[in-house]
Structure 1
Amino acid sequence: MSAEQNRLKAFLEYLKSMVLLALAIILFFTFGMSHNRIPSGSMISTINIGDHIIVNNLPFYYRLPKKGEIIVFHKGKELWVKRLIGYPGDEIDIREGNVYVNGERIDETSYLESEGISTPIMQPGATPIAFPMTVPDDYYFLMGDNRLGSLDCRFEEVGMIPCKDIVGKAWVKIYPFNQIGLLH
């Protein structure tokens, strides 16, 4: 084989490697990760209007979402972002503005600005559900961190979220740059 043929063969091997790498990256970001811009204030102050997040679409292929995780899900044609509060079969109650799951008050101090704010308040066009309530099979109960301004599972218009509509876990905030970090 001539030197020129060796160079051509090496170049084609390099080109093949780059095409495979590009394909792997495209597949990873198509099925493994996605980028979302937040359009509403339902998760303030954890995630604000205009923030950009990376969603990890992989964890829920091999495990159930964990309570307290920030979940991305389909609601109609839109993607919504809320925090997981209750599993199928859990009894959810809101008393004196605090959330109880199966009779136990949950500690939300790590992500809520103040306690006692979870009672659904009347919003135009929104009807609060009656508590206590039990999450149906194959559904989750989710709420926004901005409890005074979030349209979520506390309202009939949203209802419970089917397990099949879960897309992934809100993983990292990437913009604004001074707030880059993991989402909890």
Structure 2
Amino acid sequence: MKLKTQESKFLLILDTLMQLAVILALAWFVVSIFGDRTYMVGQSMSPQIEQGDVALINKAAYTFFKPKRFDVVAFKNKDGRVCIRRVIGLPGETVNIKDGYVYINGKVPEKFFEASAGGLASEDIQLMANEYFVLGDNRVGSEDSRTSTIGNITKDMIIGNTWIRLLPIKRIGFIR
């Protein structure tokens, strides 16, 4: 009788370990296929995302949907470096920065944007069918679509939606 109870305990432990292994394997699979993490380099997205913060990217976010205005996207710039910026201009729109404000199709959006310098957007920029205009939240210290090193980004440059800050632990939270 005692042998059967020890055997059943062993089987219960073995079953639990197998279930845990399957759950961990599935979690790893989901994160590796649909997620990626990146480190914020620079102050372009400050204070939302600070230098050295670690953020999780949803790589599947734009598989079936297009980026929307205000989405915080991760993309590879022309040098292959991963950057994080906010989508401001959408395909087909005209973007211009003058007098410290961002204009989209000649109008200041309801949620207006201030920008200290227009850079490339000092003149009208007409976005092509697959192009996006991105700005850093720190408009003064951001390398973004206003600069020739970034310029307009295309859909194929976008890795995914940057949606949650993982580190530092005291700043864990969703990115809005």
Structure 1 match to 2:166? 174
User: Would the aligned equivalents of 1:74 and 1:80 in 2 still touch at CA under 8 Å?
Assistant: yes
- Mapping 1:1-184, distance limit 5 Å: 3=4, 13-75=15-77, 76-108=79-111, 115-120=114-119, 128=120, 131-184=123-176
TM-score (norm 1): 0.79
Q: Using the aligned pairs only, state the percent identity.
A: 24
1 CA distance for matches of 2:11 and 2:45? 54
Rate the CA distance shift 1:58–1:96 in 2: closer, same or farther, 3 A.
same
Give the CA deviation at 1:107: 4.6
Give the CA deviation at 1:85: 0.7
Rate the CA distance shift 1:130–1:119 in 2: closer, same or farther, 3 A.
closer
User: Would the aligned equivalents of 2:76 and 2:159 in 1 still touch at CA under 8 Å?
Assistant: yes
Could you list the runs of 4 or more consecutive aligned residues of structure 1 that deviate by over 6 angstroms after TM superposition?
4-9
User: Would the aligned equivalents of 2:95 and 2:126 in 1 still touch at CA under 8 Å?
Assistant: yes
Structure 2 match to 1:125? none
User: Would the aligned equivalents of 1:90 and 1:102 in 2 still touch at CA under 8 Å?
Assistant: yes
State the aligned residue count.
172
Give the CA deviation at 1:8: 7.1
Give the CA deviation at 1:83: 0.3
Which consecutive residues of structure 1, in runs of 5 or more, have no partner in the other structure? 121-127
